Structure 1
């Protein structure tokens, strides 16, 4: 914890973390908010799911593209334009009764214009702290993001079901504007300039760590989406047990992330930490209908979640040039979005075929696959026990007068 106290005293760290969490808070609200609102408008979960699918496709496509734009036109212009467009699309969905095809188009637009705050802040981190603190900062980032996935769904569900789904989406848009403005106007965003990448689009995926982390993200986040579907299927959409069990998962991740901040990161760290997630996930099969047991099992699984993500983020930073970091994190985010969609889909079919236990089996299979891949290809991760996680400096040829 001394490492985190030191981070908190570093100028700008607390401010930029709070600002980026606020700017990213709508990402935890938007799915449920749109689902409930469109279902209320159309009386069709199929239509609502189609709008959500369009939004997810837009986010997956845009992630690496808009992240790369920040190196061309600057973080503030790109983030400002996308934040305004995103908020406008959500506001139109909230206030205007429209046919389903138009809602799908607006959902796609909202996905395409989702501001790449996550890529931006993880690009800023190496310029914000000294190299010795960087690994701990990635651990703190991976841990605190759990607050979004605990508080945001509760808030948007309460607003949409107890007050109005229109108000819920307007709150999403308002938080996006307010949080985005706070982050964009933060001095740290203005001080960091991402060099324009000289490599072609997508070339960063040739880096083993980026490709490995992107692929692991598909399985890693897919496993989480599957277990969430299983929990909802076990206790019902309105069951208070679902929220408590998922909160235990997030609390375990927060605890693990904060507790692992000072542990050196080796090439085997991802596999070892994913092994903890596998263990906790496997324990869910012991008593799948007992909320207290599931909470304990997923708390154990969570202990490895944020620590594993922190190693992947730090390893990515250490493996690419500074000009490539934003695009690299954009690809990683795209992999995670694809994983969430695949995990939810596979879990849905498994629940239809064999009940909630099918979703838990899907989750275990995906996270075990991730752990095996991380072990087999552990050399794809850099050894950060004796070096820092700073990006590779950008260099260029200089003319010499002779």
Structure 2
């Protein structure tokens, strides 16, 4: 903890962390808010899963594109435009009544315009701290973002069940606009300039570490999305149990991230962390009792933030600075496609066999991620004796031979 305190004393670090967490706070609310709203309107978890999947697909398409735009037009312009469009789309989703395809179209528009705050801040980090502090900063970021998943599900569940699902979505809009405005106006956002990448879009995926981070992120977040749908289906709309159980899931992740964030990242780090997640999720299938689910999800959560820290560090260390934003955009895309797949599969399994199906899906997703981490362990970079800073951009130099 002393190391984290020293890190937070670095000028600007604490401010930018809090600002970006506020800007990303709606990420922990939007999925549940849409799920609860569409299920309430249509009476079907399958329909709600389809709208949520459309939103996630939109985010997945936009991720690398809007991240790359920041190198072309600047962070503030891109963040401001996307925030405005996203806010309008979510507000319309809340207030309008239309057939399912209309809800899916609005969900996709909201996803396409999701502000690329995550890519922006993780591109800024290497310019704010020295190389020795970068890996701990990624670990701290991955841990503190769990505050979003602790507070946001409880808040949105309370508002949606006790006030209304429309009011829940409108609350998302208010926090989105306020949080993104704070982040956009932060000095660091205006100070850091992302160089224009000379590589064609998608070329960064030829880096094995970036591709692996994208695939593993897809599977890990797919498992989390299935858990989210399963918990909501298990406890329904009558109380706060769903929000509390999901908050416990994040408490485990926060504890794991802060506890293991200082451990050097070796090639087997991802496999060890995903093993913890897989065991915890497998145990959820024994019972749907609130206390059992809470305990097993705390165990599963212990591996999540540490696994995400590995994803961030290996991505940063494997690309040039000019490609960092796009690389994080692709990693985010993998996670969002995973969220779409996890939500849709869990939704249909819930309609077919009950809430148990969602936990089966979550366990399968996590086990697949563990298998990938074991089979391709040689492709995971060993960062125990090096830092996670991006590779410096250099200009070609002509030589006389």
CA contact (8 A) 1:270 1:374 kept: yes
Tell me the CA shift for residue 95 of structure 1: 4.2
Q: Distance in 1 between matches of 2:175 and 2:230?
A: 30
Query: For residue 15 of structure 1, what is the aligned residue in structure 2?
Result: 15
CA contact (8 A) 1:3 1:261 kept: no
* Deviations 1:286-329 (CA, angstroms, capped at 9, x unpaired): x4133223222221211111001101110110001111111111
Query: For residue 379 of structure 2, what is the aligned residue in structure 1?
Result: 380
Alignment of 1:2-401 (within 5 A): 2-38=2-38, 49-97=49-97, 101-285=101-285, 287-398=286-397
CA contact (8 A) 1:135 1:389 kept: yes
User: Which runs of 5 or more residues in structure 2 are unaligned?
Assistant: none
Q: Distance in 2 between matches of 1:344 and 1:100?
A: 16
Cα 1:11/1:77, change in 2 over 3 Å:
same
- Greater shift after overlay, 368-377 or 59-68? 368-377
Cα 1:169/1:233, change in 2 over 3 Å:
closer
Cα 1:333/1:45, change in 2 over 3 Å:
same
CA contact (8 A) 1:218 1:337 kept: yes
Q: Distance in 2 between matches of 1:385 and 1:379?
A: 14
Tell me the CA shift for residue 130 of structure 1: 0.9
Tell me the CA shift for residue 97 of structure 1: 5.0
- Greater shift after overlay, 14-23 or 216-225? 216-225
SS, match of residue 388 in structure 2: coil
- Greater shift after overlay, 349-358 or 270-279? 349-358
SS, match of residue 199 in structure 2: coil
CA contact (8 A) 2:49 2:343 kept: no
User: Which runs of 5 or more residues in structure 1 are unaligned?
Assistant: none
Q: Distance in 2 between matches of 1:154 and 1:247?
A: 7
CA contact (8 A) 1:55 1:108 kept: yes
Q: Distance in 1 between matches of 2:49 and 2:241?
A: 24
Tell me the CA shift for residue 70 of structure 1: 0.5
RMSD: 2.4
Q: Distance in 1 between matches of 2:271 and 2:259?
A: 18
CA contact (8 A) 2:82 2:113 kept: yes
CA contact (8 A) 2:224 2:362 kept: yes
Cα 1:309/1:184, change in 2 over 3 Å:
same
* Deviations 1:89-143 (CA, angstroms, capped at 9, x unpaired): 2233344555655544333222111100011111111111111111111111111
CA contact (8 A) 2:157 2:243 kept: no
SS, match of residue 205 in structure 2: helix
Cα 1:49/1:248, change in 2 over 3 Å:
closer
Superposition TM-score, scaled by structure 1 size: 0.92
Superposition TM-score, scaled by structure 2 size: 0.92
Cα 1:363/1:182, change in 2 over 3 Å:
same
- Greater shift after overlay, 155-164 or 368-377? 155-164
* Pairs aligned (count): 401
* Deviations 1:199-229 (CA, angstroms, capped at 9, x unpaired): 0010011000110011111211111222333
Q: Distance in 1 between matches of 2:161 and 2:352?
A: 30
Tell me the CA shift for residue 269 of structure 1: 0.6
Q: Distance in 1 between matches of 2:163 and 2:157?
A: 9
